Amino acid sequence: MSYTTKLNVPGHGELAVPTGLFINNEWVAPSGGETFSCVNPATGEKLADVAHASKEDVDKAVKAARHAFKTVWGTKVAATVRQTALLKYADLIERDAEKIAALESLNSGKGIRIARDADIADSVACLRYYAGIADKVFGQTIDSFGEEKFCYTLHQPIGVCGQIIPWNYPSLMFFWKVAPALAAGCTIVMKPSELTPLTAGVFCDLAIEAGFPPGVLNLVQGLGATTGDAISRHLDIDKVAFTGSVATGRRISIAAAESNLKKVTLELGGKSPLLVFDSSDIEEAADWTALGIYFNSGQDCCASSRVYVQESIYEKYLAALKKRAEACAIGLPSDEKTSFGPLISAGQRDKVINYIESGRSEGARVVTGGQKWPQSNGGFFVEPTILADVTPNMKVVQEEIFGPVVVVAPFKDEADALELANNTTFGLAAAVFTNDTRQATRVSAALDAGTVWVNQAALLHAGVPFGGFKQSGIGRELGTYGLEAYTQVKAVHNNLTQTMPWPI
């Protein structure tokens, strides 16, 4: 097969996009010759055929990564070498941001403005953040034994890491995984989502230009049941990092345990509550709620998808949120004005529509939206939707919809709000809107969530840890915690004068 596909990318004409497997800094064909197709979610039309990595291909990538870890990366090079390469990588992504964003928009359905100014810009920021702390990994000295011995700890890279990322943020999730792993000294076998594999290939080409040695970063596209499973079960992968659904996260945990008990970090689903107290600014709360649920067309694990509003301001808040929902800039991803594009696939669109119908049938009030966008023209668009007057046992309240659907209900007081908010198997994020600072502090501490926003929603930062409570995951990404997830601690006991304490 050819290792590239020529695509007509809006604003950039015809571009050659890598579609092969990237192993040891070379583009290669899949061993079995198999491919899979990805489509344009704005039109439903096929974009490209992409190499499908087999178990044998994964094994080749792992061998390349292991060799690189032992010989040219890991503890074999100074942290400043990794730092320099990461900074160059960030510069190259920034240089090509317009082209990468256009390809991201085409493959994922994001508005071009969002892809460029949010996803690609944040990817560059993530690389630079981890470049900045690559040479600042410190252990401890434990000098409490007098003249007997001296002990210290080393924080060393875990080794070869399998990384499996989702389709909702193809570029950003790539660098959330790759940046801390490379900064720590790990080598990588990366599997992007089969729905959005195209930008990952561009990033591999730029990795060569940035100076990463062969084998440090390898790309194996494919389906989760084949390529993903091969990564999770491989006996020479030391850690697997996954972002996606709870169901898939469970399967990866089982595969990791049944193989070599590899380390696992999981960033899984969410059903994040947003609480609006009567002391808050209603218009401000509605603005942030709209961002929290309609950004990326609701395809966000920490989307503010459950909203609880104090009874006295409930209808006023709903009216304000309705205005925001109906003002969303829906359109083709290539349009600079578009902020709300299609869902990723026909299956995802239909799943979201079925959830809306479920809410209707169980008694929820459709305030606005609730159907396919009339101007879809073959694309996978769903209108921004508000379901009001929901009750705790409704399917739309308990399950993650992963689309532009927010469910809203009233609450009586603070205790009632917390009971409703924490009544979920998820615990990824939450938001609180109140102008009572003592209440904000109390409620933030009481919410079962890995991230809590106060008087804002949705915004993350490379320097702040992100991850979930309950079934929303294991471990943390971003910040110094994200770097720690790719290191392991070694304790060294250095004998100074101590003799054997007892004979053997």
Residue 484 has pLDDT above 60, yes or no: yes
Section 241-249 average pLDDT:
97
pLDDT of residue 265: 98
Look up residue 147 and give its two tokens: 């003249």
pLDDT of residue 1: 54
Residue 124 has pLDDT above 90, yes or no: yes
Section 406-419 average pLDDT:
98
The predicted-structure confidence for 267-288, as pLDDT tens digits, reads as follows 999 999 999 999 999 999 999 9
325 or 502, greater pLDDT: 325
Section 45-64 average pLDDT:
98
The predicted-structure confidence for 170-225, as pLDDT tens digits, reads as follows 999 999 999 999 999 999 999 999 999 999 999 999 999 999 999 999 999 999 99
144 or 46, greater pLDDT: 46
Q: Which amino acid is at 207?
A: A
Listed by start position, the domains of the chain span 57-268+468-490, 273-454
Residue 75 has pLDDT above 80, yes or no: yes
The predicted-structure confidence for 416-472, as pLDDT tens digits, reads as follows 999 999 999 999 999 999 999 999 999 999 999 999 999 999 999 999 999 999 999
| Residues 6+ positions from 382 with CB-CB distance below 8 Å | 297, 343, 349, 352, 353, 369, 371, 372, 373, 403, 404, 405
Closest CA to 489 of 236, 151, 241, 158: 158
Section 29-55 average pLDDT:
97
Please give the radius of gyration of the chain, using alpha carbons only, rounded to the nearest integer. Answer: 24
Active site residue 267: yes
- Choosing from 104, 194, 267, 477, the catalytic residue is 267
Quickly list DSSP for 376-428. -TTS--B--EEEES--TTSHHHHS---SSEEEEEEESSHHHHHHHHT-SS--S
Asked if residues 258 and 233 have their Cβ atoms less than 8 Å apart, the reply is: yes
| Residues 6+ positions from 134 with CB-CB distance below 8 Å | 79, 80, 82, 83, 86, 183, 184
The span from the CA of 224 to the CA of 208, in Å, is: 27
Of all residues in the chain, what percent carry a pLDDT higher than 90? 97
pLDDT of residue 252: 98
Residue 363 has pLDDT above 70, yes or no: yes
| Residues 6+ positions from 292 with CB-CB distance below 8 Å | 272, 274, 303, 304, 431, 457, 458
The span from the CA of 325 to the CA of 63, in Å, is: 50
The predicted-structure confidence for 364-401, as pLDDT tens digits, reads as follows 999 999 999 999 999 999 999 999 999 999 999 999 99
Architecture per CATH, domain 57-268+468-490, reads as: 3-Layer(aba) Sandwich (3.40)
pLDDT of residue 147: 87
In a 13 Å sphere around the CA of 34, the CA atoms on its Cβ side amount to: 14
The predicted-structure confidence for 156-173, as pLDDT tens digits, reads as follows 999 999 999 999 999 999
pLDDT of residue 466: 98
Closest CA to 462 of 204, 172, 262, 214: 172
**Burial per residue of 212-247, b for 16 or more beta-carbon CB atoms within 10 angstroms, e otherwise:** bbbbbbbbbbbebebbbbbbbbbeebbbbbbbbbbe
Give the containing element (helix H, strand E) for 156.
Answer: strand 149-157
The span from the CA of 42 to the CA of 342, in Å, is: 6
The span from the CA of 481 to the CA of 410, in Å, is: 36
Q: Is 6 left (phi over 0), alpha (psi -120 to 50) or beta?
A: beta
| Residues 6+ positions from 386 with CB-CB distance below 8 Å | 318, 321, 322, 325, 366, 367, 368, 369, 405, 406, 408
* Angle (nearest 5°) at CA 441 between 438 and 447: 135
DSSP, res 72:
T
Residue 317 has pLDDT above 90, yes or no: yes
The span from the CA of 428 to the CA of 448, in Å, is: 8
The span from the CA of 102 to the CA of 116, in Å, is: 8
Query: Other CB atoms closer than 10 Å to residue 259's CB: what's the count?
Result: 15
Architecture per CATH, domain 273-454, reads as: 3-Layer(aba) Sandwich (3.40)
* Angle (nearest 5°) at CA 471 between 270 and 104: 45
DSSP SS3 for 490: strand
The span from the CA of 355 to the CA of 277, in Å, is: 28
Place of tokens 């107290």: 277
Section 224-232 average pLDDT:
97
| Residues 6+ positions from 62 with CB-CB distance below 8 Å | 160, 189, 234, 236, 237
252-258 contacts at long range (C-beta below 8 A, 24 or more positions apart):
252/164, 252/228, 255/229, 256/232, 258/233
The span from the CA of 95 to the CA of 365, in Å, is: 48
DSSP, res 118:
I
**First-last CA distance in the chain:** 65
Asked if residues 238 and 159 have their Cβ atoms less than 8 Å apart, the reply is: yes
Quickly list DSSP for 223-272. -IIIIIHHHHH-TT--EEEEES-HHHHHHHHHHHHHTT--EEEEE-----
